[in-house]
Structure 1
Amino acid sequence: MKAGDELPPLEIPITRTLIVAGAIASRDYQDVHHDPEAARAKGSPDVFMNILTTNGLVGRYLTDHFGPQAVLRKVAIRLGVPNYPGDTMVLTGTVEALEGDLATVRVVGANGLGHHVTGTVTLALGSAG
């Protein structure tokens, strides 16, 4: 592995169940993450994914790739367009730097509206790298 290497993409179908379950699991009871009528009343066409679910999916993407010994050390992500039910988010990653057992990966999650999440994640690879 070296800087510039690309990780294989991961397609994640964005279902209503994923959005609601992620909000419940992260104890985010904001109505826009589980109640379509409330979301519409607040200007959204439907419920949408919360940042904690997105953060978990980014972590899953990287640990699935680097293996069970990989440990997330720093996650710096920013949300863009929402993830709505019925869309698909495609996560991609590019290795930006390798220093000892640390890897920094640039991550992008895109859906039909554009970039849902962008950022960088630093992982300690341990014996997995």
Structure 2
Amino acid sequence: MTLKKTKSLAEVKVGDQLAELSIPITVTLINGGAIATRDYFPGHHDKEAAQALGSPHIFMNILTTNGLVERYIEDWAGPLAKFKNQKIKLGAPNYPGDTMTFTGEVIERDEATRSVVLGFQGKNSMGNHVTGTVTVELP
């Protein structure tokens, strides 16, 4: 198994675009994320309970969304990048049968702290599911 290369600060500039990442939203992803994060709220695993709450189907929890954001950023930065700050804002829910597509770009670069700030969004068919920024320190 080959370890993915971690980006260095020297190779990154403001305006660099992150590769797009599409994630199919499935019942298994939503259920698994809720169980893994010990979120037993019925809206994340019981369709009838979610519908009783006015939702058309079960919906993704925030901790699963956070994990997917971290995956997206780490896929770009590499395994030795250090997460320093993550700010997200939720929007449209993620329901099974949809796809969330991440896009992002480098919006700040700081030589003194060896860090970059990445702006990103994860969109589904209803609009932005998640938007935010992540600061990572690069070697």
TM class by smaller structure: over 0.9
1:105 paired residue number? 118
Give secondary structure in 1 for the equivalent of 2:119. Answer: strand
1:36 paired residue number? 47
TM-aligned CA deviation for residue 43 of structure 1 = 0.3
Q: Which runs of 5+ in 2 are unaligned?
A: 1-11
Task: Calculate the aligned-residue CA RMSD, in Å.
Answer: 0.6
Give, as a single letter, the amino acid of the residue that structure 2 aligns with 1:78: K
Q: Does 1:90 align with 2:101?
A: yes
Distance of 1:108 and 1:39 partners within structure 2: 25
TM-aligned CA deviation for residue 65 of structure 1 = 1.0
2:77 paired residue number? 66
TM-aligned CA deviation for residue 64 of structure 1 = 1.1
Distance of 1:33 and 1:106 partners within structure 2: 27
Q: Does 1:114 align with 2:127?
A: yes
Distance of 1:53 and 1:25 partners within structure 2: 9
2:62 paired residue number? 51
Instruction: Please say which structure displays the higher CA radius of gyration.
Output: 2
* Alignment size in residue pairs: 126
Q: Which runs of 5+ in 1 are unaligned?
A: none
Distance of 1:65 and 1:121 partners within structure 2: 12
Q: How much identity, in percent, do the aligned residues show? A: 56
Runs of 4+ in 1 over 6 A off after TM superposition: none
* TM-score under structure 1 length normalisation: 0.96
Q: Please list the CA deviations of residues 18-61 of structure 1 after superposition, one character each: whole Å capped at 9, or x if unmatched.
A: 00000000111100000000000000000000010000000010
